[in-house]
Amino acid sequence: MARLVGMFDEVGCQRVRTYIQSGNVVFDASPALASRVPSLVSSLIASQMALQVPVVTRTAAEFERIVSANPFVDAGADTAIVYIGFLADAPTPTQIATLDPERSPPDECVVHHRELYLRCPNGAARTKFTSAYLDRTFGTTTTVRNWRTTLALLDLIRS
């Protein structure tokens, strides 16, 4: 993680911090820099580590909205089975229409902006809403986080 923090520092990010050993990074940057961070850091990872790793980012305001908009979290909800797929790009209405809601019963999913909210009663390991399926369906990169990690990242953003 120290090497990853160094890459974010190298591209000009401030207050770079990570959440456990997960590849989740929180940082401060001007809007102009923040919009370039995914390609800049991805390029550094490729050149320094010979790995092709897409980088997906959200602003603090977007993260607040994402957490508050989750349709699967309410009083008494089992949040251990809730996940969020963060998409690099917003899917088109046509792409959203190709998402098969019956692909993985009893799992449920809702697309909202650049997020896919998932409720997987049998766990993420058993769902057929995999990142590979979502990437193909939406034509973009998807990275999925569980609800606990999402809330921990929000706390880190707020600190």
Q: pLDDT value at position 136?
A: 95
Indicate the pTM of the whole model. 0.91
- The rounded distance, in Å, linking the Cα atoms of 4 and 98 is 35
- SS3 call for 25: strand
Cβ atoms of residues 84 and 114 within 8 Å: no
Q: Render 46-85 in DSSP notation, one character per residue.
A: HHHH----------HHHHHHHHHT-TT--TT--GGGEEEE
Give 60-92 pLDDT, tens digit per residue.
999 999 999 999 988 678 999 999 999 999 999
Q: pLDDT value at position 75?
A: 66
Q: What structural domains and CATH numbers belong to the chain?
A: 2-49 (no CATH), 60-158 (3.30.70)
Cα 139 to the center of its chain, rounded Å:
15
